[in-house]
Amino acid sequence: MDFSGKVVVITGGASGMGAATAREFARAGARVVVVDRNTELAGQVAAELRADAISGDISHSSFCDSTIQQTLNRHGKLDVLVNAAGIIVRARGEATSDEDWNRIMSVNVGGTFFMCRAAIRAMKGRGGAIVNFGSIWGDLGASGVAAYCASKGAVHNLTRALALEHATDGIRINAVCPGEVNTPMIKSERKEPVTPELMQRLADSVPMGRLAEPAEIANMVLFLASDKASYMTGSLVLVDAGFAAR
């Protein structure tokens, strides 16, 4: 896929699947803008890819608006937005604090919405593509991650609703829904120690018997953002090695 001359903004671009996606877009010739609240890591990925870095918190709409405005000021347009920034809270519903509930909703749902809204305003009249990060847990329930499941379910239906609103504007909006992926998130916020046995248990829970590597998800993001996906909008695309097929 060729993204030469295309301007691509990627939230969560400092780590995991966002960073893998930034690398694949850069390899395909895009002008990449890495957006992340982790200033140091965002700077490292941007330096590696000769990309721009913008650091801040996507749960603030003013930051999202200014990120898109800075991109327009520097590159004159926006072709693709990828919303990979996200967090997880590992707690059963009954043990989830107000603070954790509000935090995950404001990042995973609010941040995704604010970035979509700012990007759509910039894309109107010229078209573009948006790829959100959903999850198998946006469709399936799981014990111990109730707020995360709720937040990803919201991202799925936000994706569908925005896609319908812009179906005739040349703005395609889809979501990639990964299964278990080998990124820092899969090890984070766990109450039990992250041992090789735990990682093996996670791999064994997947029909293919292994975690995904971040690039395997990034490939789908590039496809959805490309002209090859010209007839796709409002789709939630599972990349999960059969996890949700059961």
Ligand X SMILES: NC(=O)c1ccc[n+]([C@@H]2O[C@H](COP(=O)([O-])OP(=O)(O)OC[C@H]3O[C@@H](n4cnc5c(N)ncnc54)[C@H](O)[C@@H]3O)[C@@H](O)[C@H]2O)c1
Residues marked active site are found at 148
SS3 content of the chain, % helix, strand, coil (to 5): 50, 15, 35
Nearer to ligand X, 111 or 153 (CB): 111
Report the residue closest to ligand X, judged by CB.
16
Radius of gyration of the chain (CA): 17
Helix (H, G, I), strand (E, B) or coil at 96: coil
Nearer to ligand X, 185 or 198 (CB): 185
Token pair in block for residue 210: 């292994």
Q: How far is the CB of 168 from ligand X (least distance, A)?
A: 28
The amino acid at residue 70 is Q
Binding site for ligand X (CB under 6 A): 11-12, 14-18, 36-38, 57-59, 84-87, 107, 111, 133, 135, 178, 180-181, 183-186
Q: Contact at 8 Å (CB) between 119 and 78?
A: yes
Q: How far is the CB of 231 from ligand X (least distance, A)?
A: 25
Token pair in block for residue 27: 């390899």
Q: How far is the CB of 206 from ligand X (least distance, A)?
A: 10
Smallest Cα–Cα separation from 20: which of 176, 203, 128, 147?
Answer: 176
Other beta carbons within 10 angstroms of residue 126's beta carbon come to 12
Nearer to ligand X, 126 or 190 (CB): 190
Q: How far is the CB of 5 from ligand X (least distance, A)?
A: 26
Nearer to ligand X, 17 or 129 (CB): 17
